[in-house]
Amino acid sequence: MSFTKLSLSAFAIFLSACASNPAVGRSETAKGEAAKSDAVAVAGAPMTKERQAKVTPSAALQLLQDGNNRFLSGKMAKRDLREQVKVTGHGQFPFASVVSCIDSRAAPEVIFDQGVGDVFTARVAGNVVTKDILGSLEYASKVAGSRLIVVVGHTHCGAIKGICDNVKMGNLTDLLEKLRPARDAVPADGTPRNSQNHHFVDQVAEMNVQKQVRQLLDESPILRGLVNEGKLKVVGAMLDVETGKVQFLEDHAAQDKVAGKDLLHL
Ligand SMILES: [Zn+2]
């Protein structure tokens, strides 16, 4: 089970190098800035059937990475939301689906700088993939053509803290129980296993993301099929609510597991 942090956009690295390397000439810097402006302009354009058809699963991931980079820099794409309502009013063509917590700091359209008609979002405390959410993701991916599913966990998650402290409260109790396997899977290291231990809480949150990604693939032959056909990518991610930065994770073991299932069952 090895999770590897994906590298940042080569484009972003190039721009950064231009800004910091005096050996890079002005014309190249200007080209880089022009390309950046173009990228931002494209990011602000409404998603159409034609645009969606050109987005590969990897490109969809890049679009979200770039959107989070814009959010972090404060330079969000210029978009006319009323125009996007007009364009998408008779048909939507989102390029990605995001499962996130209900936490007020984890709104996908905000942290990924997206507009109307860009992304499907499913939100529930602790970002658990329930059967209803799984069905929604199957619709989004198989019917509506979304190329990417991201399960986003976050630091300082109240739901994760709840299961760390064995909270029981009304209808929340059953929901929190869905997080218990993640809590139990974090190896003991001698430190307290409760909400007072922030490091433990964030470890459980990341473990939960890993488990939700695996579970999603395990329980949906439709989504596994799309992954194996190269039409869909499924990744986990963690949002740091203190900075707004989203760190994408890639679970190679899960992808291998999907490939194995493909050979055995599909
Ligand atoms: Zn949360």
pLDDT digits (tens, 9 = 90+) for 56-83: 999 999 999 999 999 999 999 999 999 9
Q: How far, in Å, from the CA of 135 to the mean position of ligand 1?
A: 22
Q: Let me know if domain 3-265 sits in CATH 3.40.1050.10.
A: yes
* Contact (CB, 8 A) for 209 and 152: yes
Q: How far, in Å, from the CA of 124 to the mean position of ligand 1?
A: 8
pLDDT at 43: 79
Q: Give the start-to-end residue ranges of the domains of the chain.
A: 3-265
Q: How far, in Å, from the CA of 106 to the mean position of ligand 1?
A: 8
Average pLDDT of 112-137? 98
Cα within 13 Å of Cα(142), Cβ side:
13
Q: How far, in Å, from the CA of 186 to the mean position of ligand 1?
A: 18
| Three-state secondary structure call for residue 109 | helix
Average pLDDT of 157-168? 98
Average pLDDT of 141-151? 98
Name the token pair of 44. Answer: 């602000």
Name the token pair of 104. Answer: 């007020």
